[in-house]
Amino acid sequence: MSDVALRMERVYKKFRKGEVYNSLRDLLPALTGKMFRQQELSEKDKREFWALRDISFEVKRGEALGIIGHNGAGKSTILKILSRIMKPTTGSIVVNGRFSALIEVSAGFHQDLTGRENIFLNGTILGMTRREIESKLDQIIAFSGIEEFIDTPVKRYSSGMYARLGFSVAAHVDPEVLIVDEVLSVGDYVFQQKCMERMKEVTRTGTAVLFVSHNLRSIAEFCNGCLLLEHGRLVMSGSPNDVIQRYMNSGRIVGRQDESKPVVISEVRIRSQHGESVRFESGETAWIDVELTARRTCTKMAVVLFFTDESYYEVFNTSTERLGNGNFSLDPDDTFSCSFELRLNFANGSFRPVVAVYRYDTETLLDRWESATCIYVGSATDVRGAVNCFPQVVRHEVVKATAGKSKTLTAILSEGSE
Amino acid sequence: MKEELQELYKYRGLLYMITYRDIKVRYKQSIMGFMWAVLMPILIVMAGIVVRYAYALAANVPLKTPDIASVAVKSLPWAFLVSSIRFACLSLINNNNLVTKIYFPKEIFPIAAVMASLFDLFVASGALIIFLLIIQTGWSLYLIWTPVLLLTMVLLATGIGMIVSAASLFFRDVKFIVEVLLTFGIFFTPVFFDVSMFGDKGKWLLLNPMSPILDGFSACVAHHQSPNLPWFAYSFVFAMVALLGGYVFFKHLEPAFAESI
């Protein structure tokens, strides 16, 4: 068998938007009307739009490819075409090997059946035989972590349990080609980690994975390659870091279209010592370069930089004026640039940088650049929250009540081993 | 088409599971459980007996045992046809999350609907056999015809089921039209009456493909005769055409399902 597990070649997909006749009652009068009026054809053309235009890519065995893009960019359409639910308008797809899609893993569940019955139902829908399911039943139930409720009808499940059971079934299909769409967004942190582990495991065994997610952190961690889609077009493919950087900057383009703004932030670059990056180690130094152009005369401005966490809660804020550089004024077409240097003492997690041009005395916001995505900070020490205080445990002891005196942990350990 | 059929065969385990699900869910949801499969046919049989009794009174002839057996024997297959087409018609719409999310041959849904109704028919047949024993219908070698008649009916129901399920996915009012046809179909099909009552004009009634089948059930179970072979052949050909035509129609529309539902 060839090395390529999944290939899409020059795929176009056309959709119709707007009104479609979905009852005979509407269709019959429309058909008779059409016989008398001929101009409807041109109206029909207007209603069509291309959801995908000229998409080509391939995934080899053991590779994981991520797809990112804004809502409506065509990510789900690609997955639906690959899973053969939809046919491309033109172009071809090749899928080599047993195929499994984790698109809404609990789609096959029936509310009135128990968890166990649903494992069989969903497993068969995903392409397993009855015997296979029987042999993996214990594993599946254990992975889902809902042993107690396995004989309860799933309509009584919480939404998290529901999704966990769905993923557990899907994760045990042992496919050669796996498609994952945003399923990891459900379930708690521990379960998400478990899912990522499972996905890494299947790639090691030679499965090709196609991964669609808004969680850029998991894309950067997990994928070897990444595609960026914009309005149905493939605009970039490359290493996850580069593509994510480009995706982040694409948020800026939206703001630029607004002609009424007196000042426009034309460029924001986030650098580490190795160049542009979106992944940092906790405590690493980052540089943020900002460039802006004035359209009209503006006075007493300052550049504000702040970070928010994933729930848009501000965790850090500073500005050129607060840092003692005073304010600046620009005439039309003047440009201004500045660079911030900062140590990212963030805890593990994603943070969203925002740059704004602000006038403090009149409290006016002149322009705002918001990154479409986040930077992620990894840390060797496992700390949660917003900041990393680089903690260390310098004392760790158990005091035995019976002994009446304290023993260090090492002392207790060595006693136990004797 | 050969590849498509091979694929359907590959997914036979799924067909089994979906059928199992349909049956299980139907019996789980109703308080009476298996009674559900028996109750509706019993009602139809009782209605049929009342109608036959009225005929007998009007014609001033006594109501004979074979007449009662005939009504009972025809009611069950009719109930099967109605319920299988009704469930098949809604099978794609009711499973829209599966139609739009996961790939497999979608004809599994209407076929499973027919199979689940067939299961109901078998359960109800148990009750029917007891009933026939009580009224002492007797038996003959012509009973061999019943599986053949049953098969023809299943083919016909599957063909029609595939057509109406696909059509109702695209046009939401198809299910109302189907419902009306199924409700009033009993007046154009010899369930409560016999084709022979119409004399020469009976042949017009037999054009309804279901008529020769029901007439055949009545002939071989209640009257211990062979079915009317030329008319049965007509029904069989009709059923095969419906099945093949329905399958081709269904497969032709299938790629557009996910976008149109």
- Token pair of B235, please? 């029904």
| A387 within some domain | no
Chain-chain contact of B17 with A110 (C-beta, under 8 angstroms): no
Q: How many CB atoms lie within 10 A of CB A218?
A: 20
Banded pLDDT at A407 (limits 50, 70, 90): low
Instruction: For chain B, say whether A13 makes contact (Cβ under 8 Å).
Output: no
**Statement: residue B246 has pLDDT above 90:** yes
- Whether residues A326 and A284 share a domain: the answer is yes
What pLDDT is stored for residue B88 in this prediction? Answer: 95
- Whether residues A214 and A78 share a domain: the answer is yes
Banded pLDDT at A36 (limits 50, 70, 90): low
Instruction: State the total domains in chain A.
Output: 2
| A386 within some domain | no
Proportion of chain A above pLDDT 70, given as a percent = 84
Among the listed ranges A81-85, A113-117, A325-329, B24-28, which one has the minimum average pLDDT value?
B24-28
Instruction: For chain A, say whether B58 makes contact (Cβ under 8 Å).
Output: no
What pLDDT is stored for residue A254 in this prediction? Answer: 47
- Whether residues A89 and A223 share a domain: the answer is yes
Chain-chain contact of B171 with A27 (C-beta, under 8 angstroms): yes
Instruction: State how far the Cα of A208 lies from the Cα of A205, in Å rounded to an integer.
Output: 9
- Whether residues A228 and A308 share a domain: the answer is no
Q: Which domain-ending residue is among A186, A217, A238?
A: A238
Which chain A positions have a beta carbon within 8 Å of B94's beta carbon? none
Average pLDDT rounded to a whole number, residues B82-106: 89
- Whether residues A198 and A251 share a domain: the answer is no
- Whether residues A234 and A246 share a domain: the answer is no
Task: For residue A269, give its domain range.
Answer: 241-378
Proportion of chain B above pLDDT 90, given as a percent = 50
| A145 within some domain | yes
- Whether residues A54 and A115 share a domain: the answer is yes
What pLDDT is stored for residue B113 in this prediction? Answer: 95
Instruction: CATH number of the domain at A339, please.
Output: 2.70.50.60
| A398 within some domain | no
- Whether residues A227 and A298 share a domain: the answer is no
Q: Which domain-ending residue is among A363, A378, A393?
A: A378
Q: Is the dihedral of CA A382, A383, A387, A390 positive or negative?
A: negative
Instruction: For chain A, say whether B31 makes contact (Cβ under 8 Å).
Output: no
| A312 within some domain | yes
Instruction: For chain A, say whether B260 makes contact (Cβ under 8 Å).
Output: yes
Give A175-206 pLDDT, tens digit per residue.
888 888 765 565 667 777 777 788 888 888 88
Give B50-77 pLDDT, tens digit per residue.
998 998 898 888 888 888 899 999 999 9
| A174 within some domain | yes
For residue A24, give the nearest of B28, B29, B171 by CB distance.
Answer: B171
Instruction: Tell which of B9, B21, B109 to mutate to test the A interface (max A CBs under 10 Å).
Output: B21
| A338 within some domain | yes
Amino acid identity for residue A67 in this structure: I
Instruction: CATH number of the domain at A84, please.
Output: 3.40.50.300
Contacts A–B by Cβ distance under 8 A: 72
Chain-chain contact of B14 with A124 (C-beta, under 8 angstroms): yes
Q: Is the dihedral of CA B35, B37, B42, B44 positive or negative?
A: positive
Banded pLDDT at A268 (limits 50, 70, 90): confident
Instruction: State how far the Cα of A171 lies from the Cα of A175, in Å rounded to an integer.
Output: 9
Q: CB under 8 Å to A163, separation ≥6 — which residues?
A: A105, A106, A183, A186, A187
Label the pairing between strands A298-308 and A314-319: antiparallel
For residue A103, give the nearest of B24, B101, B170 by CB distance.
Answer: B101
- Whether residues A64 and A144 share a domain: the answer is yes
- Whether residues A329 and A273 share a domain: the answer is yes
- Whether residues A358 and A231 share a domain: the answer is no
Q: Are A91 and A82 in contact (CB under 8 A)?
A: no
What pLDDT is stored for residue A408 in this prediction? Answer: 58
Q: State phi, psi for A257 to the nearest 5 degrees.
A: -65, -20
What pLDDT is stored for residue B35 in this prediction? Answer: 74
- Whether residues A121 and A9 share a domain: the answer is yes
| A394 within some domain | no
